[in-house]
A and B are shown apart, each in its own frame.
Chain A
């Protein structure tokens, strides 16, 4: 296996792993936060607007970690600097 193949393989496998793992844990934590928010809304329906707003902001924060992973894997596939180096060679 020469160097070019190794670079291509490493990029593709890492891209898959990045999105896979990076979706798994944010999904778990998002589920947890939504469940907690729902139970607290059930306990205190009066506080629903505040809880919903905070929930949305928190969800966006958690989701952005997944988005970072996605962006990294997109860079690995479509704009890989190492692969560009190989192509230029």
Chain B
């Protein structure tokens, strides 16, 4: 039984191999980029907007709202990263409605790459927002004793992000594979519907967790901004 789409190799030379994961990932990337390009070709700001622009606006607005709710003010700075993560993972998990499709998120290499992006984005946004000193200060919060725990948690949560997404999607694929050999008539469809739900929830969870991690890194400067605002209010 094929556990991951990594095992379907089309072409290999040395350590470079082109497998199903790569092909599907690039196909989805192309689809998303071309779709976004086509929709945003002629944007309008009057009352008569096209249907697709309406859909895209709804998506962008709701992602912005979610990011803001979790605790990141000015979501426009982060939607480029978090929104892309969400849409990519959601797209990967959504196309399981097609027959013979194997989700690239069911391969540990894809999810590790995504988790590494989150891992690197945390210091990026943290330093951008509050400087190197301010970012490094988050490691000794609340006291200096917590330094090793904070470092370990940074690593373990990256591992957890990768394995969570991989495990959820892979288990869905496995269950469908096993059920196909036992009760091939209707039950796999039900499990596929459940897999669709799990996939959407996992995409949401992945991006929400990325948001929470970034929010924890930029918290210092957000707090400072609030303090300054409150002082201004009291002095006024």
Question: Would you list which residues of chain B between 41 and 69 have a CB under 8 Å from chain A?
Answer: 66, 69
Those 5 A-B pairs whose CB atoms lie nearest each other, nearest first: A67-B167, A60-B205, A64-B164, A71-B167, A70-B171
Interchain CB contact under 8 A, A68 and B167: yes
Among A63, A67, A74, the residue within 8 A (CB) of B3 is A74
Minimum Cβ distance to chain B for residue A80 (Å): 13
Instruction: Tell me the interface secondary structure of chain B in the complex.
Output: helix
Contact present for B69 and A53 (CB under 8 Å): yes
B1-22: CB near A (< 8 Å → 1, else 0) gives 1010000000000000000000
By a CB distance below 8 angstroms, the chain B residues around A71 are 163, 166-167, 170
Are B167's CB and A64's CB within 8 A? Answer: yes
Residues from chain B with a CB closer than 8 A to the CB of A49 are: 69
B168: chain A residues at CB < 8 Å are: 63, 67
Give complex CA distance A47, B234 in Å: 29
Q: Mark interface residues in B143-185 (1 if CB within 8 Å of A CB, else 0).
A: 0000000000000000010011011101100100000000000
* Contact with A67, one of B66, B164, B208, B209 (Cβ below 8 angstroms): B164
Binding site for A on B (CB under 8 A): 1, 3, 66, 69-70, 160, 163-164, 166-168, 170-171, 174, 201-202, 204-205, 208-209, 212
Q: What is the CA–CA distance of A53 and B70 in the complex, to the nearest angstrom?
A: 9
Interface residues of A, Cβ cutoff 8 Å to B: 49-50, 53, 56-57, 60, 63-64, 67-68, 70-71, 74, 78-79
CA distance A56 to B3 in the complex (A): 27
A64 / chain B contacts, CB cutoff of 8 Å: 160, 163-164, 167
Known: A60-B201, A64-B164, A74-B174. 7 other contacts (CB 8 A): A49-B69, A50-B69, A56-B204, A57-B209, A70-B171, A71-B166, A74-B170
Given contacts A60-B164, A78-B1, A78-B3, contact A67 B171 (CB under 8 A): yes
- Shortest distance from the beta carbon of B29 to any chain A beta carbon, whole Å: 25
How many angstroms from the CA of A50 to the CA of B68 in the assembled complex? 12
The residue on A at minimum CB distance from B1 is A78
CB-defined contacts of B66 to chain A, threshold 8 Å: 53
Assess whether B167 is in contact with A70, with CB atoms less than 8 Å apart. Answer: yes
- CB neighbours of B212 from chain A (8 A): 57
Which A residues are in CB contact (< 8 Å) with B3? Answer: 74, 78-79
Contact B1 A57 (CB under 8 A): no
19 A-B pairs with C-beta separation under 8 A:
A53-B69, A53-B70, A56-B204, A56-B205, A56-B208, A60-B202, A60-B205, A63-B164, A64-B167, A67-B163, A68-B163, A68-B167, A70-B167, A71-B163, A71-B167, A71-B170, A78-B1, A78-B3, A79-B3
